Each structure stands twice: as structure tokens, then as C-alpha cells.
């Protein structure tokens, strides 16, 4: 019987350190806003957006490495994404089929692995189970204060079910890179791959199969990747699109457009509203602007 040592790191990043480093100030610090606890502070990327043994599956059999997910992330998506993002930032005209496929895979796994999606998935699973319980049993549970809680393994069940469902939609979308004008900068969050639909406002979850849903992924403090359905120009935002039959391996990519300060600030507000608990920026001023109401 194979036995695996507890090699889990002190903290597993659910948003990679290398990605967060793209949003630091000139001294290498992130300006952090914790909206759940109403606090703001400075920190190095290596010390935030991580949870102890977040990817460790303690319930697996002795023949399975409990750190299999962490090891797969380190040797697969996270080891490959840096060059792909560098290409989008520096030479987007040279995007290759391989880089496009890497980005599609990474965007999906980054979307579903964060605590925000884990909490949402557990809530959905809990609701589905409760609906299957007879009403009289549910009433009895309520009377005695018995609560149905979801084990952490439910998070991994959700990720296994979700893998492969988002990629076909991302592959059919139009990709655009926008640059912040000088003096402005983008934030990023603890849920950096954000779905937004103007007809389905936060905290509601916008379905990625709706015509008006866009995907926002800040690439750095100066540039952001935006994905949208071609039908967004001709259909109502809540129009349900047909399920993709195949995934495109090459993205239609456009770039070179500069957003003025107002558009950047409006986008940052959307991102901040779609955060779970944290959002970060390269300056305190950008943090403050992201929480301001427009007007």
C-alpha cells in the first residue's frame, strides 16, 4: 500500500502569487481591501489569498496522494499560464493556438477553485439535498435546530463536475484587451475571473450562457481581458444561447483600445462587487475609487 507524506504547504494560494505580483506598487506591495471585515492594509503577494491545506483531500484512500490537485495545478495550469499572459500583455499579435488553449483552461479552473465559487456550490448542493427531504422531516429538523452542513469534499465534487463545462463557452467568445489610460489602474480580486451581465446585477450570478454575459479577467494593473458573446450586439442580455457544440482552439482577439479613467473606475466597481472578500490594487487611491458609488 502506498503512503504519502503530508507535503501540503503551509498555505495554498487560490489566486497565484505570480499573478498577484502583476498588481503591486513600485515597492512590491499590494494595497488590500477586505470588504468582509472592513479593513485595508499593505501586504506582499505571497502572504494573501491562500488557505492552509486548501487543496489537501484528507478523505481519500491511502493509495491516493491527498495533494494530487495541488501538484496538478503546480505542474499544469499554473506553470503554463505565465507565458500566455505575458504574450497577451506584450505581444498579443503573436497569440498562438497553444496559448489560447492554455488561457481557456486556466480561466475555467481559476473561476471554479476560489472560495466564492466553493461557497456558492455548497449552498446550491445543500438546497438540492433539502428539496429531496420530505416536508415533515424538514419541519422536524427546523424544530430541533438540526442543520444540514456540507463537507469540504463537496468543493472538489463541484470542481470535478464543473471542469469542461465553461471552456466551450470561452472558446466561442470574442476576446478583447483594453489598456488603462496613464494614471489609472485596474484592481483584481479573490475571484479574478468574473462573470457580469448588466441585466443580472451582483450579487446574483450571471450565467455564462446568456447573450449579455461578459467575462472580465484583469491581466495586470494596466490591462484587462474581456470576453463577450458575438450575440451581445443583437440579442437581449438575458437571452439564453444554444449550447456550444465544439470548442474553438483559436480566439478572435482584438487589442489596442485605451479606456479612459471613468471606464476603468466603473469596471473596477463591477470587479469589487463581484469579489468574495478581498480586492487589491497598486495604490490606495485605486482601492478607494473602486468602492465609491458613481456620481
Per residue in 232-242, pLDDT (tens digit) is 999 999 999 99
Cell representation of residue 46:
505571497
- Look over the chain and give the mean of its residue pLDDT values, rounded to a whole number: 85
Q: Is 253 contained in some domain?
A: yes
Of the candidates 15, 150, 152, the one whose C-alpha atom is nearest the C-alpha of residue 77 is 15
- Look at the chain and report how many structural domains it folds into: 1
Q: Is 1 contained in some domain?
A: no
Length of the chain (residues) = 295
DSSP 181-237: PTT----EESS-SEEEBTTB-TTSPPPTTBTT-EEEEE-SSSEEEEEE-GGGGTS-T
Q: Is 114 contained in some domain?
A: yes
Of the candidates 148, 177, 149, 185, the one whose C-alpha atom is nearest the C-alpha of residue 89 is 177
| Contact yes or no for 39/281 (Cβ under 8 A) | no
pLDDT at residue 55 above 70? yes
Q: Which domain holds residue 145?
A: 12-291
Dump pLDDT digits (tens) for 143-168: 777 765 656 777 777 777 778 889 89
Measured over the CA atoms of residue 196, residue 258, residue 251 and residue 70, the dihedral's sign is negative
Q: Is 3 contained in some domain?
A: no
Give every strand in the sheet of 30-34, ordered side by side.
Answer: 39-43, 30-34, 278-281, 188-189
What's the rounded mean pLDDT across residues 58-71?
71
pLDDT at residue 31 above 70? yes
| Contact yes or no for 22/187 (Cβ under 8 A) | no
Run of H or E including 101? helix 97-113
Cell representation of residue 41:
492594509
Q: What are the residues whose beta carbons fall under 8 Å from the beta carbon of 276, sequence distance 6 or more?
A: 36, 114, 115, 116, 119, 189, 190, 191
In this prediction, residue 1 has a pLDDT band, given cuts at 50, 70 and 90, of: very low
Q: Is 6 contained in some domain?
A: no
Q: Is 5 contained in some domain?
A: no
| Contact yes or no for 107/193 (Cβ under 8 A) | yes
Percent of the chain at pLDDT exceeding 70: 84
What's the rounded mean pLDDT across residues 166-181?
94
Amino acid at each position: 500500500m502506498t503512503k504519502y507524506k503530508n507535503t501540503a504547504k503551509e498555505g495554498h494560494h487560490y489566486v497565484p502569487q505570480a499573478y498577484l505580483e502583476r498588481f503591486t506598487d513600485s515597492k512590491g506591495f499590494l494595497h488590500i481591501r477586505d470588504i468582509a471585515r472592513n479593513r485595508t492594509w499593505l501586504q506582499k503577494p505571497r502572504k494573501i489569498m491562500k488557505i492552509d491545506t486548501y487543496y489537501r483531500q484528507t478523505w481519500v484512500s491511502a493509495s491516493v496522494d491527498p495533494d494530487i490537485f495541488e501538484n496538478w495545478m503546480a505542474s499544469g495550469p499554473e506553470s503554463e499560464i505565465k507565458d500566455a499572459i505575458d504574450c497577451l500583455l506584450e505581444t498579443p499579435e503573436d497569440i498562438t493556438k497553444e496559448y489560447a488553449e492554455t488561457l481557456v483552461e486556466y480561466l475555467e479552473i481559476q473561476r471554479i477553485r476560489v472560495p466564492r465559487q466553493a461557497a456558492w456550490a455548497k449552498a446550491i448542493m445543500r438546497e438540492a439535498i433539502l428539496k429531496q427531504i420530505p416536508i415533515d422531516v424538514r419541519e422536524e429538523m427546523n424544530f430541533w435546530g438540526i442543520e444540514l452542513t456540507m463537507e469540504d469534499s463537496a468543493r472538489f465534487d463541484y470542481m470535478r463536475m464543473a471542469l469542461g463545462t465553461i471552456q466551450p463557452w470561452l472558446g466561442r467568445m470574442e476576446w478583447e484587451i483594453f489598456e488603462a489610460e496613464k494614471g489609472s489602474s485596474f484592481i483584481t480580486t479573490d475571484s479574478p475571473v468574473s462573470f457580469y451581465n448588466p441585466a443580472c446585477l451582483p450579487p446574483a450570478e450571471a450565467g455564462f450562457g446568456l447573450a449579455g454575459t461578459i467575462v472580465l479577467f484583469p491581466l495586470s494593473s494596466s490591462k484587462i481581458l474581456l470576453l463577450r458573446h458575438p450575440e451581445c450586439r443583437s440579442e437581449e442580455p438575458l437571452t439564453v444561447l444554444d449550447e456550444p457544440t465544439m470548442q474553438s482552439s483559436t480566439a478572435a482577439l482584438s487589442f489596442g483600445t485605451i479606456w479612459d479613467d471613468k471606464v476603468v473606475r466603473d469596471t473596477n466597481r463591477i470587479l469589487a462587487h463581484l469579489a468574495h472578500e478581498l480586492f487589491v490594487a497598486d495604490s490606495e487611491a485605486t482601492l478607494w475609487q473602486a468602492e465609491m458609488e458613481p456620481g
